[in-house]
Amino acid sequence: MTLFSAGLILIEGDAGQRRHNVFIYLLMMHAGTAAVIATFFLFLPHAPGLDFAAMRTAAISMPPGLRAAIFLLAFVGFGTKAGIVPLHLWLPKAHPIAPSPVSALMSGVMLKTAVYGFVRIAFDFLGSGPAWWGYLVLAAGAVSGVLGVLYAIGEHDLKRLLAYHSVENIGIIYLGLGASLVFASQGASSWAALALVAALLHTINHALFKSALFLGAGAISDGAHTLDIEELGGLLKRMPVTGTAFLIACCAISGLPLFNGFISEWLTFRSFLAGGTLADLPAAIVLPLMAGTLALIGGLAAACFAKVYGVAFLGRARSEEAEHAREVAPAMQASMVVLATACVAIGILPGFLLRPLGAAVQEFVKGAVLPVETFSIARIMPWVALAVVAIIVLGRVIRGATRVTRTWACGMPALDSRMQYTSTAFSKPLRKVFARVYQPERHVEVVSDTSGYFPAAISYQSVRTTSFERSLYRPAVDAIVAAAHRLRRLQTGNIQIYLLYIFLALVTLLVFMRFL
């Protein structure tokens, strides 16, 4: 899976930065795979054949320390593939450089195999564990969710922005998984089942709307030849089908009602609020607080997609390419329409997924009866949808004649695209509020004209390296390089010294074997 996806990324060539990004992707995947292999190998003494049925039985009788080690290794190993912060570094580097359909598969599907692996190990094999497992997963989910969406807001390359939103949505899935682990540790199996159902439902929801968005990005690059949203604008008129499908996916990812993202986020909210009924005080405080975190993530995601859609699809074209954009081929339109339709279908009729998901969860959350809240949303949504349609129809019927006039341009002769809100300007207030997270390095250069009163040219550049690159990965890489430099002293190039090393290694091994 890892190697094929790396191969697919390299199809567009391996020049410079691209090769570096694929290298980082492969490096982090190998580190993650090492943790996954270690997870399985820890089962080896208890289940020699390493088949899943034997591993499931073996896990019950394992000492708590070993179970904790397996859990932590699975958390790190699968977390690297899923892209939880701070193990997400590869994700915004690898996803944007792949061909669009491959990005859709990587973001929509490949990350989900990591969620599957984590659920299989932590829920199916290990069953429930101590409460700190849940708190760890909750913390990872909350940090990934908030930072993922904040980084996304600062981006104006569409595919990088979508990649950061994958980090955010994996965060939401992990919030559900964490809540489920906390509930299970407290013996509240019904709520544990609900939180897990919410997480799994969000898994398929994210797969649907994220692949629709990545395919939309592919359609935009095909139709308008650029993915910089500062260069786009007015695409809805030129690409109506893509624009509509993209709008539905934007609504779904922002968690708006009638779309699938709302259902899974609502169920996650519901389980968090039920946390307040737990007898254990820390859980009763932390879980409802997480509802606040999820609300923050949802709000910021909605702001981000208002920016994306407003700047790229509405208004006027900001470049020649966007001006001459045209609708994509019918097969491409059809695929986006299918995904967008699925988003609406699950949003209005979630029952057809919720029931079997409940049955799936009951296979490993033993004796869990899903709370009535799970299905109440399935009963109410079709009526909400009907009401919304009725209001729209009624609005159309009673609305009188419309008058179409030109927009007032503040006294200027005509509107032009430079008068519009840009993506950078739109996100500026949020970037100012969260300046501590971004810590941008700004370079402003003003070239004065001869009179000295008016600038001839102003150039503005804002470079943003994520704080994790600066404060976590950079020192680690520097430490490894420094250690390697120190170790170079061992490499004298003198054959006698090497023979001495071999002799010493041999003696050490003999001593070790003698006294073991």
Partner 1 sequence: MIQTAFSAFLASLLSIPAVFLVGVRSKTLRVATSALMLVALAAGAVVGGMGFWHGARLAVDFSQVSPLPFALGLDRLSAFFLLLICAISVPVTLFSSSYVERHYQGWGRALLWALLPLFIGSMVVVVTASTAFAFLFGW
Residues found near partner 1 in the complex (CB under 8 A): 1-2, 4-5, 7-8, 11-12, 33, 36-37, 40, 43, 49-53, 55, 99-102, 104-105, 108-110, 112-113, 116-117, 119-120, 124, 200, 203-204, 207-208, 211, 215, 218, 222, 328-332, 334-336, 338-339, 342, 356-357, 359-360, 363-364
Nearer to partner 1, 147 or 201 (CB): 201
Residue matched to tokens 């592919």: 218
Structure tokens at 237: 């008129």
Residue 352 CB, shortest distance to partner 1, in Å, is 8
Nearer to partner 1, 341 or 417 (CB): 341
> How far is it, in rounded angstroms, from Cα 201 to Cα 187?
23
> How far is it, in rounded angstroms, from Cα 53 to Cα 41?
15
DSSP at 228: B
Residue matched to tokens 């039920």: 274
Residue 49 CB, shortest distance to partner 1, in Å, is 6
Structure tokens at 500: 């001495």
> How far is it, in rounded angstroms, from Cα 133 to Cα 179?
10
Nearer to partner 1, 99 or 127 (CB): 99
SS3 403: coil
DSSP at 277: G
Nearer to partner 1, 37 or 387 (CB): 37
Residue 366 CB, shortest distance to partner 1, in Å, is 14
> How far is it, in rounded angstroms, from Cα 427 to Cα 422?
9
Nearer to partner 1, 119 or 153 (CB): 119
> How far is it, in rounded angstroms, from Cα 101 to Cα 119?
27
Contact assessment for residue 30 and residue 77, using Cβ atoms and an 8 Å cutoff:
no
Contact assessment for residue 82 and residue 114, using Cβ atoms and an 8 Å cutoff:
yes
Structure tokens at 19: 């090769």
56 class by beta-carbon count within 10 Å (0-12 exposed, 13-18 middle, 19+ buried): middle
Residue 106 CB, shortest distance to partner 1, in Å, is 9
Nearest to 110 by CA among 160, 170, 151: 170
Residue 172 CB, shortest distance to partner 1, in Å, is 16
Residue 489 CB, shortest distance to partner 1, in Å, is 38
Residue 264 CB, shortest distance to partner 1, in Å, is 13
Nearest to 127 by CA among 180, 172, 194, 204: 180
Nearer to partner 1, 363 or 469 (CB): 363
Residue 470 CB, shortest distance to partner 1, in Å, is 31
* CB within 8 Å of 427: residues ≥ 6 apart: 153, 154, 303, 304, 307
Residue 445 CB, shortest distance to partner 1, in Å, is 37
Instruction: State the alpha helices, DSSP H only, in 314-365.
Output: 320-323, 330-348, 351-362
Nearer to partner 1, 51 or 513 (CB): 51
Nearer to partner 1, 205 or 423 (CB): 205
Nearer to partner 1, 116 or 421 (CB): 116
Structure tokens at 207: 């797969």
Nearer to partner 1, 89 or 102 (CB): 102
Residue 17 CB, shortest distance to partner 1, in Å, is 19
Cα atoms found within 13 Å of the Cα of residue 83, Cβ hemisphere only: 30
